């Protein structure tokens, strides 16, 4: 892997694969929805999506044609901490498309009409998304995990705040797409590197990295949040607690412990909840890490009359794992499983590129891709036990349920004080 720094501070990683027929580019800025000013939720997503709707010299239609004539498209992802742009194309089109991406970032026009149209469409989409209980549950989970913190504000925004956003706010937010702290990962058959990175020399260097977001407060006590969806035949269930940043020393130990609990098809949760009891189609758990904090989430769904039973089984399994720890055989299995998943996820240059970008985002170091599999093997059982003790919740969590409140309220009261949220208040 090659690495260079442009004069403006942009870090460029190059993963050369001569036999690849494609090249992918990922551009990552450490500026996501948590960077939206108070009262302007959804601005990060709106800005990123609007970039391709016209520059000072190129119309939105011409941008579409440039991308699609090359068989490509521009991927845009916004999460709490980052905004990522990506595209994949044949090597012969790469210089042209990266020049376009550079132009989008350096000279966006943000036509008023396009801002208004996308804002309106986003509000309409939010309303439509209320039909998707899984989406509603994920949104409510972040609100429950990070109350009063920017991480709790949904990246798609609140409808009432979106409606007030205009071109001025969008332009201001886009000024934060600066070279310092950002990275570009090129993976595949990379030809004429100089031509590929030239368009990004125009990015403003910007100030030093912005101050790190304050850490979210750890959740205390138990509570239940029910988002009322009276027509649902099934309830989406989440159990959520506070987690840790990805640079935590507990990271690998916690990932191993969590894999025993809820990753893959032979985890304890799948065994107990799906295989032995037939309560769900799917169940998993994970530690999610962000720049300033993290969360632990168990995700599942079941028929409404069985929600309390499902939560009980989950809590019991978590308690057992925290108390007794994983068996040696289980630990050995998840070490190989996570290592194998990592290898399977590194098959193509594009996949390795994604991992490089992820390591950069979390400041894990350039040798992370080499260290990670080794750490999976070397982390001792005692460290796993300690990490589970520290991070697997016992009495500080939220149960989030999206289903008919009338049938859920009494069932779930045993897990904490119940708050019922009308569905429409989620957006």
Partner 1 sequence: MSRLPSLRGAAALKPIEHQLPNGLRIRLLPDRGAKVLAYQTFFRVGSRNEQIGRTGIAHLFEHMMFNGATRYGPKEFDRQLEAHGGSSNAYTSYDLTVYHEEVPSEALDLAIDLESDRMAGLRLSAEALQSEREVVKEERRLRVEDSVFGRLDEELGALVYQAHPYHWPVIGWMGDLERVTLEDCQEFFRRYYAPDNATLYLAGDFDPEQTLDKLTRAYGDLAPGLAPPREASDEPEQRGQRRTHLRIPAQTPALLLGFRGLPARDPRSPALDLLSTLLTTGDGSILVRKLIHERGLCTEVSSDHSWRLEPGVFLVAAELPPGTSPKRVERAILDELETLATQLVSPPALARCKAQLRVGLLRELQTASGRAHALGNAEHLLGTIGEAQLQLERLAAVTRQGLRAAAEAVFKIERSTLVWVDP
Which string of x and - marks every residue 341-360 that binds partner 1 (by CB under 8 A)? x-xx-xxx-x----------
Among 128, 166, 365, 422, binds partner 1 (CB under 8 A): 128
Q: Which of 42, 54, 19, 399 is nearest to 190 (CA)?
A: 19
Give the relative orientation of helices 167-174 and 112-129 as an angle to the nearest 10 degrees.
90
Which residues ranging from 16 to 35 are in contact with partner 1 (CB under 8 A)?
Answer: 19-22
Which string of x and - marks every residue 45-64 that binds partner 1 (by CB under 8 A)? -------x-------xx--x
Which two tokens mark 226? Answer: 């029910």
Q: Is 413 in the site for partner 1 (CB under 8 A)?
A: no
Which span sits near partner 1 by CB under 8 A: 99-107, 169-177, 276-284, 363-371?
Answer: 276-284
Instruction: Tell me how far, at minimum, the Cβ of 229 lies from partner 1, in Å.
Output: 8
Instruction: Tell me how far, at minimum, the Cβ of 100 lies from partner 1, in Å.
Output: 13
Q: Is 211 in the site for partner 1 (CB under 8 A)?
A: no
Whether the CB-CB separation of 322 and 314 falls below 8 Å is answered with: no
Instruction: Tell me how far, at minimum, the Cβ of 25 lies from partner 1, in Å.
Output: 13
Q: Is 302 in the site for partner 1 (CB under 8 A)?
A: yes
- Neighbouring C-alpha atoms within 13 Å toward the C-beta of 343: 8
Q: Is 138 in the site for partner 1 (CB under 8 A)?
A: no
Q: Is 143 in the site for partner 1 (CB under 8 A)?
A: no
Q: Helix, strand or coil for residue 12? A: strand
Q: Could you tell me how far CA 177 lies from the centroid of its own chain?
A: 19
Q: Is 100 in the site for partner 1 (CB under 8 A)?
A: no
Residue 362 DSSP one-character state: T
Helix (H) or strand (E) holding 88: strand 83-89
Which two tokens mark 159? Answer: 């409808």
Q: How many residues bind partner 1, per CB under 8 A? A: 64
Instruction: Give dist(CA 137, CA 153) in Å, integer.
Output: 14
Q: Is 160 in the site for partner 1 (CB under 8 A)?
A: no
Q: How far is CA 207 from CA 29, 51, 177, 204, 345, in A?
A: 13, 22, 11, 9, 35
E strands in 212-306: 222-228, 234-242, 283-289, 294-303
Q: Is 90 in the site for partner 1 (CB under 8 A)?
A: yes
Residues at the site binding partner 1, with contacts judged by CB under 8 A? 19-22, 52, 60-61, 64-65, 67-73, 88-90, 117, 120-121, 124-125, 127-128, 130-134, 231-234, 264-266, 271, 274-281, 301-303, 332-334, 336-337, 339-341, 343-344, 346-348, 350
């Amino acid at each position: 892997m090659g690495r260079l720094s442009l004069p403006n501070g942009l870090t460029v990683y190059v993963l050369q694969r001569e036999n690849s027929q494609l090249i992918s580019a990922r551009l990552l800025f450490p500026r996501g929805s948590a960077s939206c000013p108070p009262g302007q939720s959804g601005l990060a997503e709106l800005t990123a999506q609007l970039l391709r709707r016209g520059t000072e010299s190129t119309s939105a239609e011409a941008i579409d044609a440039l991308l699609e004539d090359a068989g490509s498209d521009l991927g845009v992802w916004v999460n709490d901490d980052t905004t990522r742009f990506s595209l994949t194309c044949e090597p012969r089109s790469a210089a042209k498309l990266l020049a376009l991406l550079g132009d989008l970032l350096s000279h966006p026009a943000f036509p008023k009409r396009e801002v208004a149209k996308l804002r309106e469409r986003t509000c309409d989409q939010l309303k439509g998304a209320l039909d998707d209980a899984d989406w509603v549950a994920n949104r409510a989970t972040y609100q429950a995990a990070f109350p009063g913190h920017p991480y709790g504000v949904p990246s798609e925004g609140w409808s009432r705040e979106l409606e007030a956003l205009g071109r001025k706010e969008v332009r201001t937010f886009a000024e934060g797409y600066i070279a310092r702290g950002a990275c570009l990962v090129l993976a595949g058959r990379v030809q004429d590197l100089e031509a590929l990175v030239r368009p990004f020399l125009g990015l403003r260097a910007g100030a030093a990295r912005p101050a790190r977001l304050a850490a979210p407060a750890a959740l205390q006590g138990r509570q239940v949040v029910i988002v009322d969806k009276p027509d649902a035949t099934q309830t989406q269930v989440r159990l959520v607690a506070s987690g840790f940043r990805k640079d935590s020393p507990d990271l690998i130990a916690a990932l191993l412990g969590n894999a025993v609990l809820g990753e893959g098809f032979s985890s304890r949760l799948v065994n107990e909840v799906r295989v032995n009891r037939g309560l769900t189609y799917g169940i998993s758990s994970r530690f999610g890490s962000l720049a300033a904090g993290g969360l632990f989430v168990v995700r599942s769904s079941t028929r409404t009359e069985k929600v309390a039973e499902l939560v009980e089984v989950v809590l019991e399994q978590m308690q057992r794992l925290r108390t007794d720890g994983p068996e040696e055989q289980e630990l050995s299995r998840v070490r190989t499983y996570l290592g194998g998943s990592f290898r399977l996820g590194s098959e193509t240059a594009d996949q390795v590129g994604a991992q490089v970008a992820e390591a950069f985002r979390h400041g894990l170091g350039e040798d992370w891709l080499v260290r990670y599999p080794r750490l999976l093997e070397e982390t001792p059982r005692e460290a796993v036990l300690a990490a589970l003790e520290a991070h697997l919740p016992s009495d500080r969590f939220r149960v989030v349920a999206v289903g008919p409140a009338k049938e859920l309220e009494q069932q779930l009261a045993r897990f904490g004080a119940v708050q019922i949220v009308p569905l429409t208040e989620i957006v």
